[in-house]
Amino acid sequence: MKTIKTWLASLAHEHETNVDEAIKYLGDSFPLLKALKTTEQDPQWHAEGDVHIHTDMVLSELYTLLKGPAAYLSADARQLLVLGALFHDIAKPLATKRREINGAERVIAPQHEGMGRSYLAYRLCEFGLERWKIQALMGLVGEHQMPKLLVIKNRSRGDYWRLARKANHELLYWLEVADMKGRICEDLHEQLSLLDEFKLFSEEYGVWGNTAEQSISALLAPLISDLNESEQAYVYGYAQYELERDTITIVEEAIAKTYPHRSAYSDLVILCGPSGSGKSSWIKQNIPQHRIISLDDIRAEVCGDRSDQNQNGKVLAIAKERLRESLRIQQAAVWDATSLRLDFRDHVAQLGRNYHALVTLVVFQLPPKVIFDRNRNRAFAVPDNVLDRQIETLQWPTPDEVHRYIVVDETGKSI
- Domains of the chain: which residue ranges? 4-207, 213-258, 267-408
Give the bridge partners for 294, in sequence order: 336
What is the arrangement of strands in the sheet containing 333-336, beginning at the earlier edge strand?
291-294, 333-336, 267-272, 358-364, 404-408
pLDDT score of 310: 79
State the virtual CA torsion across 218, 216, 334, 351 in degrees, nearest 10.
150
Round to whole Å and give the CA distance between 289 and 274: 23
Spatial contact of 90 and 33, defined as CB atoms under 8 Å apart: yes
pLDDT score of 49: 96
Round to whole Å and give the CA distance between 369 and 354: 39
Q: Which amino acid is at 267?
A: D
Give me the mean pLDDT over the 92-104 stretch. Answer: 94
Percent of the chain with pLDDT over 70: 100
pLDDT above 80 for 225: yes
Give me the mean pLDDT over the 93-111 stretch. Answer: 94
pLDDT score of 380: 84
Mean pLDDT, all residues of the chain: 95
Name, in order, each residue with C-beta under 8 angstroms of 362's C-beta and a sequence gap of 6 or more. Answer: 269, 270, 271, 272, 282, 406, 407, 408
Give the bridge partners for 358, in sequence order: 267
Question: Residues in the chain, how many?
Answer: 415
- Render the burial of 185-212: b for 16+ CB within 10 Å, e for the rest: eeeeeebeebbeebbebbeebbbbebbb
Spatial contact of 175 and 167, defined as CB atoms under 8 Å apart: no
Band (pLDDT 50/70/90 cuts) for residue 234 is very high
Band (pLDDT 50/70/90 cuts) for residue 336 is very high
Give me the mean pLDDT over the 118-130 stretch. Answer: 96
How does DSSP assign 71-120, residue by residue? TTS-HHHHHHHHHHHHHTTTTHHHH-EEEEETTEEEEE-TTHHHHHHHHH
pLDDT above 80 for 1: no
Tens of pLDDT, residues 236-264: 999 999 999 999 999 999 999 999 999 99
C-alpha gyration radius of the chain: 23
Band (pLDDT 50/70/90 cuts) for residue 218 is confident
pLDDT score of 167: 96
Q: Chain centroid to CA 203: how far?
A: 23
Tens of pLDDT, residues 276-317: 999 999 999 999 999 999 999 999 998 887 777 778 899 999
Band (pLDDT 50/70/90 cuts) for residue 415 is confident
pLDDT score of 306: 78
| 149 backbone φψ class: left, alpha, beta (φ>0; ψ -120 to 50) | alpha
pLDDT score of 256: 94
Spatial contact of 352 and 268, defined as CB atoms under 8 Å apart: yes
Query: What is residue 31's three-state secondary structure?
Result: coil
Q: Which amino acid is at 156?
A: S
Tens of pLDDT, residues 39-55: 999 999 999 999 999 99
> What pairing do the DSSP bridges indicate for beta strands 267-272 and 333-336?
parallel
Q: Rounded to two decimals, what is the model's pTM?
A: 0.95
May I ask the CATH architecture of the domain 267-408?
3-Layer(aba) Sandwich (3.40)
Tens of pLDDT, residues 52-70: 999 999 999 999 999 999 9
pLDDT score of 304: 82
Give me the mean pLDDT over the 380-385 stretch. Answer: 90
